[in-house]
Amino acid sequence: MTAIVPPYLLARIAAIGEPRFPRAADAARATLAVSREYRPVRKRLVLSIEEPGTLVAETSPAPDRVVSDAQNRERLPGVRVRGEDDPPTGDESVDEAFDGLGATFDFWWEAFARTGIDGDNAPLLATVHFGRDYDNAFWNGERMVFGDGDGEVFTGFTNSLTVIAHELAHGVTEHAGGLVYDGQSGALNESISDVFGVLAEQHLRGQTADEADWLVGAEIFTQAVQGVALRSLKAPGTAYDDDVLGKDPQPAHMRDFVKTTDDNGGVHINSGIPNHAFYLAATALGGHAWERAGLVWYRTLTSGILSKTATFAEFARATLDTATAEYGEESEEVAAVRTGWTDVGVIDDGTGRAG
């Protein structure tokens, strides 16, 4: 089960008796205790029969969004409060979730001609106001679920497009064949979601790779926290450094790979390495990062060539193969992807051999 706030961060908040964040400690303990049922969505089979000679209008696909309100209970889906043709509700969380789902849908379609999470325009479902002071947002295989935060460490999660797009990207990974949520394949699973989370935001803002901040969850901390975001693709390990939360533990290079049994083998920690490889490739190419580097990552994810237990080195080789097929062996795209993986220590030299 994926969630944007890693368990080690919640555990640290819960364990420290800190008068600065008394409500947050209780909220973190309660958040860790909540059971989240995983509900994988079955792919729909849609049959369309047209009469001979029928003219069918071709239009751009549109999202099918439904936002529900859990009313601070821990039950899903909650009460339906806004559908695709409904006006804004005035509830900030509802309307932010609705807009974030739409921006993510537009990103997938306009960048990669993908219609929604499953590629078949399945409804985009979300539930807001989950639990009381719930300090997380997660994808349960069926819908996005948002807590409101505790107000001391976390402000809430619907105001961050990188959070929304990150969690929805887990659904795309599932429909593409999946990556086992443990060890290096699990860290790749997390990294891919971080990559498409920041790309969705850059797409909405029309930013180039050089203009973007490359931060995941930049809006979810309160001003009391010494930090700018949950994670940074530009500089893993620098997103926060707080007396209570501790220091961002993400490495940016394989020499600092963290061996741990916590967090499913460090999936939220070691994802910093492939995250940084993508950042290096995207900024080397310049322009809009989703157009070339993003396309290589997307094609690699959806090609069907990845093992469910892919290591960093196997994924790196796959991205190089994809870039070669897309742009040619001598292209700057292949060179940028190779350099990205070399500079983070996943590939051992400039030839593309895995280290």
Question: What residue type is 79 in one-letter code?
Answer: V
Tokens of 308: 């469910």
Reading the block at residue 104, the tokens are: 């993510």
* Cβ neighbourhood burial of 182 (10 Å; 0-12, 13-18, 19+): middle
- Dist. CA 226–CA 247, nearest whole Å: 10
Catalytic residue status for 167: yes
Q: Is 143 exposed, middle or buried (0-12, 13-18, 19+ CB in 10 A)?
A: buried
Question: 268, 276, 288, 314: which one is catalytic?
Answer: 268
**Exactly one of 96, 152, 167, 333 is catalytic; which is it?**
167
Do residues 200 and 162 touch, judged by C-beta distance below 8 A?
A: yes
Cα(177)–Cα(251) distance, rounded to whole angstroms? Answer: 27
How far is 74 from 87, CA to CA, in rounded Å? 26
d(CA 222, CA 186): 29
Strand-pair partners of 231 = 216
Active site residues: 167, 268
